[in-house]
């Protein structure tokens, strides 16, 4: 366990640094948008492109991996919506489901799992990120509009798909996969520039997660009872990875050729805390931002223990 904490501690420590810096106003709230833009439009796309380009195309486009992860994500969404829709309505229930099913695979997952498991884990993690951005997010946004009627769900789905098209991360993943399939190599100076931006992605992204969480806390004055967010945070950290593990074991029993490393990467991806960008989507669609922010905050805080324990269990660490 100590060896696992040696790897995971710096990642969560950087999140804490961003949180404390924002709470203490050392980092101005107005600067968070700039940090987020740097990560989203520059550093993270470069990192994803490099990982994609250096990963065999078969790992990026494994249909068994995609089916397992997508099925489990849909089960989490269905369960969360069924448990909350009568009390919260479609809008809040849909975003509660999204924050429960969408792990922070971009800002945290890819660099953390590569540090833990090596370069070979990048392929499954990148695939899960693409599925969450394109399928899970679009589905939940469409569900959030069901209570409005008048074709709102269809309009929301079109808006969600438009958001995917202007999001640089799916394009970076696609270009990386294309480079992998064609064995394309960037010119030396360009590759070095991309590498420098990619190297900045992990520390800045983790610091930004903490800053975003602190900003959400500072901006949300209304009280939210723990019973309205703790169960979903626990479902994210415990139920989601358990579902993925069970689905992987079932697939292997049915004859699927899933490597142990792939199973470990998928389960640990599901064990990550909730994606911080869901709070921005919730605000955009006028859902209960305070509840979503607290689910992200609690899942991120608890993940230091739960994720590290999952790593130790899956990798056989002491």
DSSP states of 50-93: HHHHTS-HHHHT-HHHHHHHHHHHHHHHHHHHHHHHHHHHHHHH
Share of the chain above pLDDT 70, in %: 93
Mean pLDDT across 202-223 = 82
Distance of CA 71 to the CA centre of its chain: 16
Q: Residue 78 is part of a domain; what is its CATH number?
A: 1.20.1530.20
Q: How confident is the model at residue 149 (pLDDT cuts 50, 70, 90)?
A: low
| Beta bridge pairs of residue 274 | 103
Q: Which tokens sit at 181?
A: 């399939």
- What's the confidence (pLDDT) of residue 73? 96
User: Looking at residue 150, what is its pLDDT?
Assistant: 59
Mean pLDDT of the chain: 89
pLDDT band at 254 (very low <50, low <70, confident <90, very high): very high
More confident residue, 224 or 76: 76
Mean pLDDT of 154-181: 81
Q: Inform me whether the pLDDT recorded for 53 exceeds 70.
A: yes
Whether pLDDT at 262 is above 80: yes
Residue 168 CA: distances (Å) to CA of 42, 47, 151: 9, 12, 28
Task: Please state, for a pLDDT cut of 90, what percent of the chain lies above it.
Answer: 62
Which SS3 state, helix, strand or coil, does residue 145 take?
coil
- The three-state DSSP-derived secondary structure of 229-246 is CHHHHHHHHHHHHHHHHH
Q: Is the pLDDT of residue 153 over 80?
A: no
Alpha carbon distance 94, 294 (integer Å) = 16
State which residues form the domain around 208. Answer: 2-315
Is 243 buried (19+), middle (13-18) or exposed (0-12) by CB count in 10 A?
A: buried
User: Per-residue pLDDT tens for 63-97?
Assistant: 999 999 999 999 999 999 999 999 999 999 999 99
**Is the predicted pLDDT of residue 136 greater than 60, yes or no?**
yes
According to DSSP, the residues that pair with 103 across neighbouring strands are 274
> What is the Cα–Cα distance from 109 to 169, expressed in whole angstroms?
14
Helix (H, G, I), strand (E, B) or coil at 103: strand
Query: How many distinct structural domains can be found in the chain?
Result: 1
Q: Which residue has the higher pLDDT, 28 or 223?
A: 28
- Cα distances (Å, whole numbers) of residue 253 to 108, 267, 303: 31, 17, 30
pLDDT at 312: 92
């Amino acid at each position: 366990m100590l060896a696992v904490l040696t790897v995971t501690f710096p990642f969560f420590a950087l999140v804490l640094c961003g949180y404390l810096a924002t709470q203490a106003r050392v980092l101005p709230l107005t600067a968070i948008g700039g940090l987020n833009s740097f990560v989203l439009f520059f550093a993270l796309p470069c990192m994803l492109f490099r990982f994609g380009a250096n990963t065999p195309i078969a790992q990026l486009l494994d249909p068994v991996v995609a089916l397992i992860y997508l099925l489990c994500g849909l089960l989490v969404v269905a369960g969360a919506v069924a448990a909350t829709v009568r009390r919260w309505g479609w809008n809040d229930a849909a975003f509660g489901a999204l924050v429960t099913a969408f792990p922070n695979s971009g800002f945290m997952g890819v660099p953390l799992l590569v540090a833990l498991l090596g370069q070979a884990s990048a392929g499954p993690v990148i695939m899960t990120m693409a599925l969450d951005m394109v399928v899970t997010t679009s589905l939940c946004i469409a569900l959030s509009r069901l209570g409005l009627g008048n074709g709102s769900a269809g309009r929301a789905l079109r808006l969600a798909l438009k958001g995917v098209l202007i999001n640089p991360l799916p394009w970076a993943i696609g270009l990386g996969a294309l480079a992998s399939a064609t064995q394309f190599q960037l010119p030396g100076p360009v590759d070095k520039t991309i590498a420098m931006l990619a190297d900045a992605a992990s520390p800045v992204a983790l610091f930004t997660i903490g800053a975003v969480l602190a900003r959400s806390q500072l901006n949300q004055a209304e009280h939210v009872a723990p019973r309205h967010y703790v169960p979903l945070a626990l479902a994210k950290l415990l139920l989601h990875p358990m579902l993925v593990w069970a689905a992987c074991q079932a697939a292997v029993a049915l004859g699927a050729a899933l490597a142990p490393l792939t199973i470990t990467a998928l389960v640990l991806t599901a064990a990550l805390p909730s994606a911080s960008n869901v709070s921005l989507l919730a605000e955009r669609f006028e859902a209960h931002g305070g509840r979503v922010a607290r689910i992200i905050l609690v899942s991120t805080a608890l993940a230091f223990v739960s994720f590290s324990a999952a790593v130790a269990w899956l990798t056989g660490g002491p």
